[in-house]
Amino acid sequence: MIHVAKTIIEDNAKFLLIKRAKDSKFFPGQWDFPGGKIKADEKPSESAARETKEETALDIIIGDMIIEGSHTEKETEIHYQVFLTKECAGEIKLSQDHSEFKWVSKEQIKGLETTPFVKAFLAFSKAK
């Protein structure tokens, strides 16, 4: 099992999505929220902030966890937690694990090929 923490960064009703590299082990070429694997000695919220910094160069302050779930991909169970951000600062500079980024509305997200984490967010926000 893999444990991951993801971060939702919102600005003016638009959400930051980053496109996973085509050679990614999981979800290649799909649009995703920043975040990644939780280290053994980390809290999920700490992981979300660290991974977001590594993937986007943005400094964030983590807010509430809004979604928790599991997804099986390539016979690997992925347990995930998705956090809101309270604050975000800096200029986006993507890691080599991602090919592009964009700010999109919830409506625009529906037209993209996205990871299960983004789909979970859309389902969550629709249910609210």
Task: Check: CB of residue 83 under 8 Å from CB of residue 10.
Answer: no
Task: Check: CB of residue 98 under 8 Å from CB of residue 19.
Answer: yes
In order of start, what are the domains of the chain with their CATH numbers?
2-127 (3.90.79.10)
Write down the pTM of the prediction: 0.94
Helix (H) or strand (E) holding 56: helix 44-56
Task: Check: CB of residue 73 under 8 Å from CB of residue 48.
Answer: no
At 55-94, the pLDDT tens digits run: 999 999 999 999 999 999 989 999 999 999 999 999 999 9
